[in-house]
């Protein structure tokens, strides 16, 4: 692509245009056989997918044609004899019908109830909390906690992180020196959670008293009373509400919270569940000089989300999505995976979260395990056959053959990859063979809001909606990674052409995106 772009630029400069055109022709002629081969392979694969996906239909058509031909050749006496035969077996027909009705009733009564996503909201902090790179570095320098080596390390991380100039840090971090305290941490959590919930209740017209289930997840801040109790107190939720507070579960806890809410909605019928996902920075800023602990300071930013789920059939008409699958993978039995994201004290006694150099390799292994479970649930049969065939060949004939990577673009229309950092997005784009448009929502969320932990996948979904790309029937894959080490996936299906909700996080800036990111 770079070569083509350069040729086009040169062609626009008068006398050099002829040379440029010749260069383009030679360049393309060398690649023509490869290009034709790739096109042929592309259409062969498309033909294969079409054949396998429609194999049942292709087989049924001639079968139905034979039946119709045979039926047309039957005379009235044959039809009369068939009717008399059915009359003599009336008891059998009645028994079979009764069994069919009973079986259908049992299935309808015991099948899992659909879980609908009515709406969701994402918190957007006020502009005075923005932390441009220059202000961030000046502030770090003036606090006096970091030596020159640490300051230079933070500067490099910021430049390569994929974050933009408009991300937010909490109010306590804007003072010199910073003022982290329990009161300030509570204030940060209240602003984020209540801000997201206020918008959610306004947009859905659901009264807080109608909420039957509340699940809150925040990894690093777990005060007493809990964050879920703070919400119950603020909105005066009913006394028999089933509330849960998930702590220490990392950036993938948002999907875990959705899974917990889904299981509860299967038991408690005709109710609403609210899932609140957030993280707290105020009390978890690192003020030491250990490099592996400084990275979270550069990546994590203020954010949170609130999601309204329902198991009411009447809500299907107004819901945005239906929950299709949740797949959870936990690699905590492995010591390296367990310690790769680890909260601890450095040699000076300062607390922070340390990120291991093996993090990306461990994340890759967790992803592989997760998609091995998810693949059979979502991939078309054509992809499953290719994967199985490659596995058999590798096992029986050639152990050196590369495993087949299923084409998840055939299963999903949109991808919401946790905006944990630029390297995470790059790695998944490469390993899943995605196109730039598939990771656009993740990259732009990282650029605009930073790593908002478990809520980042909702900012990404909001981006897709704000771009007007979500159509009825589209499938969305939300995938997140977290300490432990965990990789969790949620699959949603759009029930209608989804438009962005009022007061969305991208409401006044979506036209500025996507932005061009520096390599």
The two beta strands, 475-482 and 414-417, are parallel
Number of H helices, E strands in the chain: 17, 11
Does residue 418 have an active-site annotation?
Answer: yes
* Catalytic residue list contains 251: yes
Residues in CB range of 93: below 8 A, 6 or more apart: 86
Contact 251, 420 (CB under 8 A): yes
For 21-49, give the secondary structure using H, E and C. HHHHHHHHHHHHHHHHHHHHHHHHHHHHH
Residue with tokens 């063979």, as numbered in its chain: 433
Check if the beta carbon of residue 431 is closer than 8 Å to that of residue 500. Answer: no
Q: Is the dihedral of CA 177, 183, 189, 192 positive or negative?
A: negative
Contact (CB, 8 A) for 247 and 308 = no
> Is the Cβ–Cβ distance between 306 and 218 less than 8 Å?
no
CB 488 within 8 A of CB 328: yes
Active site residue: 245, 298, 414, 488, which one? 414
Q: Find the catalytic residue in 370, 451, 487, 488.
A: 451
Q: Is 447 a catalytic residue?
A: yes
210, 241 Cβ separation under 8 angstroms: no
Give the whole-angstrom CA distance, residue 448 versus residue 131. 11
**Cα-only R_g, the chain:** 28
| Contact (CB, 8 A) for 213 and 273 | yes
Q: CA 135 to CA 140: how far, in whole Å?
A: 8
- Give DSSP secondary structure letters for 77-146: HHHHHHHHHHHHTHHHHHHHHHHHHHHHHHHHHHSPPP-EEEEEEE----GGGB--HHHHHHHHHHH--S
- What the block records as the tokens of 145 is 């906690």
In sequence order, the 6+-apart residues with CB closer than 8 A to the CB of 49 are 380, 382, 383, 410
Which letter does DSSP use for residue 405 in this model?
-
Catalytic residue among 418, 438, 487, 488: 418
Quick check: bond before 372 cis, omega within 30? no
Tokens at 188, concatenated: 């940060």
Which residue of the set 251, 298, 416, 487 is catalytic?
Answer: 251
Active-site hit among 370, 416, 447, 488: 447
203 part of the active site? no
Task: Spot the catalytic one: 280, 298, 330, 438.
Answer: 330
The residues that are catalytic are: 251, 330, 414, 418, 447, 451
């Amino acid at each position: 692509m770079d070569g083509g772009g350069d040729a086009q630029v040169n062609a626009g400069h008068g006398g050099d245009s002829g040379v440029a055109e010749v260069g383009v022709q030679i360049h393309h002629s060398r690649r023509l056989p490869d290009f034709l081969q790739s096109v042929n392979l592309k259409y062969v694969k498309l033909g294969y997918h079409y054949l396998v996906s429609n194999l049942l239909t292709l087989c049924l058509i001639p079968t139905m044609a034979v039946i119709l031909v045979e039926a047309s050749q039957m005379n009235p006496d044959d039809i009369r004899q068939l009717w008399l035969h059915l009359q003599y077996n009336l008891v059998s027909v009645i028994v079979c019908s009764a069994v069919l009705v009973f079986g259908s009733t049992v299935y309808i009564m015991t099948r899992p109830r659909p879980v609908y996503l009515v709406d969701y909201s994402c918190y957007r902090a006020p502009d005075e909390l923005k932390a441009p790179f220059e202000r961030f570095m000046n502030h770090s320098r003036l606090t006096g906690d970091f030596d020159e080596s640490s300051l230079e390390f933070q500067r490099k991380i910021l430049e390569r992180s994929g974050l933009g100039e408009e991300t937010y840090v909490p109010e306590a971090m804007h003072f010199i020196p910073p003022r982290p305290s329990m009161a300030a941490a509570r204030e940060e959590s209240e602003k984020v959670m209540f801000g997201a919930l206020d918008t959610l209740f306004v947009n859905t017209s659901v009264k807080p008293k109608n909420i039957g289930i509340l699940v809150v997840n925040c990894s690093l801040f777990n005060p007493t009373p809990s964050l879920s109790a703070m919400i119950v107190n603020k909105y005066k939720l009913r006394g028999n509400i089933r509330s849960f507070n998930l702590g220490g579960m990392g950036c993938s806890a948002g999907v875990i919270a959705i899974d917990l809410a889904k299981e509860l909605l299967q038991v408690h019928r005709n109710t609403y569940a609210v899932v609140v996902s957030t993280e707290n920075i105020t009390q978890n800023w690192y003020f030491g000089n250990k490099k592996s602990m400084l990275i979270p300071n550069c990546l994590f930013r203020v954010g949170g989300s609130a999601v309204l789920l329902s198991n009411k059939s009447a809500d299907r008409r107004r819901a945005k999505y239906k929950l299709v699958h949740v797949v959870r993978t936990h690699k905590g039995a492995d010591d390296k995976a367990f310690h790769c994201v680890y909260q601890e004290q450095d040699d000076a006694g300062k607390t922070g979260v340390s990120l291991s150099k093996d993090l990306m390799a461990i994340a890759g292994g967790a992803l592989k395990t997760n998609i091995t479970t998810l693949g059979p649930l979502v991939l078309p049969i054509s992809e499953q056959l290719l994967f199985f065939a490659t596995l058999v060949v590798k096992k029986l004939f050639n152990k050196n053959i590369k495993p087949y990577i299923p084409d998840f673009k055939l299963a999903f229309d949109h991808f919401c990859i946790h905006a944990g950092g630029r390297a995470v997005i790059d790695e998944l784009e490469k390993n899943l063979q995605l196109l730039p448009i598939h990771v656009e929502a993740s990259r732009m969320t990282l650029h605009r809001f930073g790593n908002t932990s478990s809520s980042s996948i909702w900012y990404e979904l909001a981006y897709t909606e704000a771009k007007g790309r979500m159509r009825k029937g589209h499938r969305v894959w939300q995938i997140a990674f977290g300490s432990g080490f965990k990789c969790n996936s949620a699959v949603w299906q759009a029930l209608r052409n989804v438009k962005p909700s009022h007061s969305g996080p991208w409401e006044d800036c979506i036209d500025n995106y996507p932005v061009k990111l520096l390599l």
